[in-house]
Amino acid sequence: MTSTNMVSASSILFPAIAQLLLLVSLILTTNVIAYHHDESSIPSTLDGPFKPVTVPLDKSFRGNAVDLPDTDPRVQRRAAGFQPEQISVSLSSTYDSVWISWITGEFQIGDHIKPLDPKTVASIVRYGKLKYSLTHRATGQSLIYNQLYPFHGLQNYTSGIIHHVRLKGLEPNTLYYYECGDPSIAAMSGTYHFRTMPVSNPKSYPSRIAIVGDLGLTYNTTSTVSHMITNHPDLVLLVGDVCYANLYLTNGTGADCYSCSFSNSPIHETYQPRWDYWGRYMQPLLSKVPIMVVEGNHELEEQAQNQTFVAYSSRFAFPSKESKSPSTFYYSFNAGGIHFIMLGAYISYNKSGDQYKWLKRDLAKVDRGVTPWLVATWHAPWYSTYTAHYREAECMRVAMEDLLYKYGVDVVFNGHVHAYERSNRVYNYTLDPCGPVHITVGDGGNREKMAITHADEPGNCPEPSTTPDKIVGGFCAFNFTSGPAAGKFCWDRQPEYSAFRESSFGHGILEVKNETHALWTWHRNQDLYESAAGDIIYIVRQPDRCPVEVEPPTKGH
């Protein structure tokens, strides 16, 4: 009998013993990160709400990162001809399918570019459970994209050929080996491997999920990624802002603040080769560990004919079709007993829009008996107490928070603010035992500076007029009407919904243990891996106390 079954049986006869067995089960299944903590001292959300904590700024830590140059061997092209490079794995909506993506051919940038023809190279993956017997074969589609500017002197860009192939009929929690490329022209990759997600049920979860935002490609990024690799994650969630190509002019000149340094540019330029550098640097990790990405503001990348988000939508494979979404900006997928909802903060989210209608349908279909955990992510946080981007996403919160609360979202992950913050359970700025825990992890290590000032500190409260919502074209952030901050735009102390905040680069690890308990740890880059985590807590679901309201989707939606 498994420890989970023992707990289930004992809970009927001996509640006290059941609680003891549950604690033992959690201790035995907690990975090496928690071994550096006294298990009995790890708090849980049941101990909250917690009094707000602010960790003082470590001024010895360099919070202004430096980008990897194009001369770094980790970002240089090693593939010859049409050999695959920038190989990555991403998930479909269920365990029995994954996407393999890669690029063949070199990008071009300059005044005179000639796009490659995607039809000249096939998109083929050979795969199987035995390394030297890849008996299965799948084909997919290929594309190129351009980044074009209607102004003299700006260099245009055309990508290599981007391939996306979906593998189907896979077994759960199984190691598969694969090669990708075009065998007809002797342009196949080496052999890589990935592991599928476990089957979706309340007893089955990925061991470790790495969650990071605003990653970029700096020397601090390399520290973040090294820490993640040491953690042996089964899945990586990147909650927006990938490579920061839009901090550069098309001639490759970069700056920490684009608008500050290049205020006279006729259009917000980008240096698209940074995407290729990022793909090459990340390949050792992403060729075997699936990554799921949602767009951030730095993926906007405006170009000719008002096109936006082209690189983001072209380079990654998304389970949009599989999750019945019409867009690459929002979709959902399962990872074991977790249902993930990836939402777009830079596309319409009002209640009459397509995203809201899709979200309502998707939430209504979630069977919490199969996937007890419901996790939502998008880029710009609703609950952040830093001056940077303070209450910037208020219109999205006003439009969608009621829906997420109604369906019992357990945890929300965001980026955008370049610091770390974890909330108490909160709903509508009020402490609520059934509200989700909001966690901001926009601290991946990008070139822009860390966020270090808080809106509740004297002189740091921004003017409400500085928080317009560019999506709906109006203002939703107003003075609070009730509570300790009534009549004010900012609190005059760390808000009670903010449990813990610290300015540092790092990443987080989510380990769901069973239907009710998940261990969350946050790691700072400046710490040795073996040292204690910067923040650690058990997030505990209470389905009996917080029942989910189930409502069938409206006909025709």
Digitized pLDDT (tens) for each residue of the chain, 557 residues in all: 444 443 333 333 333 433 443 433 443 334 444 444 566 689 999 999 999 999 999 887 766 689 999 999 999 999 999 999 999 999 999 999 999 999 999 999 999 999 999 999 999 999 999 999 999 999 999 999 999 999 999 999 999 999 999 999 999 999 999 999 999 999 999 999 999 999 999 999 999 999 999 999 999 999 999 999 999 999 999 999 999 999 999 999 999 999 999 998 899 999 999 999 999 999 999 999 999 999 999 999 999 988 999 999 999 999 999 999 999 999 999 999 999 999 999 999 999 999 999 999 999 999 999 999 999 999 999 999 999 999 999 999 999 999 999 999 999 999 999 999 999 999 999 999 999 999 999 999 999 989 999 999 999 999 988 887 777 667 899 999 999 999 999 999 999 999 999 999 999 999 999 999 999 999 999 887 666 789 999 999 999 999 987 655 455 44
- Provide the Cα torsion 442, 444, 447, 450; round to 10°: 50
- Separation CA 526–CA 121 (nearest Å): 44
The whole-angstrom separation of Cα 531 and Cα 334 is 32
For residue 467, what pLDDT is reported?
81
Using alpha carbons, list the distances in angstroms from residue 294 to 198, 210, 302, 313, 342: 22, 14, 18, 10, 6
Q: How far apart are the first and last CA of the chain?
A: 44
Active-site residues, by number, are 389
Specify the DSSP element, H or E, that contains 27: helix 15-29
* Other CB atoms within 10 A of residue 17 CB: 14
Q: What is the dihedral of CA 244, 279, 511, 234, to 10 degrees?
A: 170
**Among 361, 396, 405, 362, residue whose Cα is nearest residue 378:** 396
pTM: 0.92
Alpha-carbon span 434 to 497, nearest angstrom: 13
The alpha-carbon radius of gyration of the chain (Å, integer) is: 23
DSSP state at residue 44: B
Q: Cα-flanking dihedrals φ and ψ of residue 248, to 5°?
A: -125, 150
Neighbours of 424 (CB within 10 A): 23
Instruction: Please name every residue paired with 509 in a beta bridge, in sequence order, or none if there are none.
Output: 210, 521
What are the E-state strand segments in 183-258? 187-188, 192-195, 209-212, 235-238
| Short-list 557, 503, 505, 508, CA closest to 537 | 508
For 354-388, b/e burial (b = at least 16 CB within 10 A) is ebbebbbebbeebebeebbbbbbbbbbbbbbbbbb
C-alpha–C-alpha distance, residues 259 and 309, integer Å = 19
Going from the C-alpha of 249 to that of each of 64, 268, 269, 340, the distances in angstroms are 20, 8, 5, 36
Task: Tell me the helix, strand and coil percentages in the chain, rounded to 5.
Answer: 20, 25, 55
Please, what's the b/e burial string for 320-341 (b: 16 or more CB within 10 A of its CB; e: otherwise)? bebbebeebbbbbbbbbbbbbb
